[in-house]
């Protein structure tokens, strides 16, 4: 059973969930404007969530059980010739990630999506032609240095997952390969790898938000 209670500048929804559910909260303003606000609840038991909807009153609260096919989604492709990248950067004095850890992320959705709607994994390798237009850049707060690459195929797949409901934590998608976590800044004379890159089949997995502890 779910309940809604008006609080200053919003509404608090509480109750008990037997299973993870999508809680749909329907609100209506004094002028008749209606809003339907989804709350993604990925746990069982007591539930409490506050919604900032000033000027609206809740008219209905419904819990919809989440399909078992709805999960967080992490899609990546490993770099098949990772040893070639590692040798290239080690020759420039960079301590790289293990070659079998090198990959390109295509989707990283903390919001659950329907995996069946996303379709099957793309099992064909993708080759990126040699290019002198690649660049090196720092990324995130873990001290990562990445190789930025371009690929219409990867961008198209990223857009596919976004259209299926996947979220993305950045304003845009920039395909990249993390080379190292051991540099505080990009060395001034570091040369981007210009050679052919071979990417293995897509791999679907659930998001591991504690990935940094394994680096």
pLDDT tens, 1-48?
Answer: 788 787 877 788 888 887 777 788 888 888 888 888 888 776 678 888
Higher pLDDT, 75 or 7: 75
Q: Which residues contact 85 (CB under 8 A, 6 or more apart)?
A: 79, 96, 99, 102, 147, 177, 179, 193, 197
Predicted confidence at residue 215, as pLDDT, reads: 55
Round to whole Å and give the CA distance between 184 and 97. Answer: 15
**How do residues 155-214 score in pLDDT, each as one tens digit?**
999 999 999 989 998 889 999 999 999 877 888 899 999 999 999 999 999 998 765 555
- Main-chain phi, psi angles of 28, to 5 degrees: -140, 135
In sequence order, the β-bridge partners of residue 15 are 2, 47
Predicted confidence at residue 95, as pLDDT, reads: 93
Higher pLDDT, 71 or 177: 177
Q: Which residues are catalytic?
A: 103, 105, 176, 178
> Residue 68 pLDDT more than 70?
no
pTM here is: 0.69
Round to whole Å and give the CA distance between 26 and 10. Answer: 13
CATH of domain 70-214: 3.90.1140.10
Q: Which residues contact 91 (CB under 8 A, 6 or more apart)?
A: none
Q: Is 1 helix (H, G, I), strand (E, B) or coil?
A: coil
Round to whole Å and give the CA distance between 97 and 80. Answer: 14
The answer to whether 196 and 128 are in contact (CB under 8 A) is yes
The answer to whether 181 and 215 are in contact (CB under 8 A) is yes
């Amino acid at each position: 059973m779910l309940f809604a209670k008006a609080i200053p500048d919003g509404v608090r929804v509480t109750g008990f969930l037997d299973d993870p559910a999508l809680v749909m909260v329907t609100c209506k303003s004094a002028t008749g404007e209606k809003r339907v606000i989804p709350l993604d609840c990925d746990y069982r038991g007591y539930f409490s969530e506050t919604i900032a909807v000033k000027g609206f009153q809740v008219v209905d609260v419904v819990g919809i059980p989440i399909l078992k096919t709805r999960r967080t989604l992490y899609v990546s492709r490993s770099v098949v010739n990772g040893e070639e990248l590692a040798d290239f950067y080690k020759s420039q004095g960079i301590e790289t990630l293990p070659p079998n850890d090198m990959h390109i992320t295509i989707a990283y959705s903390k919001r659950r999506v329907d995996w069946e709607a996303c379709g099957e994994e793309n099992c064909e390798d993708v080759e990126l032609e040699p290019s002198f237009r690649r660049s090196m850049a720092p990324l995130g707060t873990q001290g990562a240095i990445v190789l930025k690459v371009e690929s219409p195929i990867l961008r198209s797949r990223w857009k596919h997952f976004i259209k299926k409901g996947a979220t993305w934590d950045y304003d845009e998608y920039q395909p990249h390969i993390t080379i190292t976590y051991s540099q505080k800044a990009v060395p001034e004379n570091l040369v981007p790898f210009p050679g052919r890159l071979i990417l293995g089949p897509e791999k679907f997995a659930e998001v591991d938000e504690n990935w940094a502890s394994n680096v």
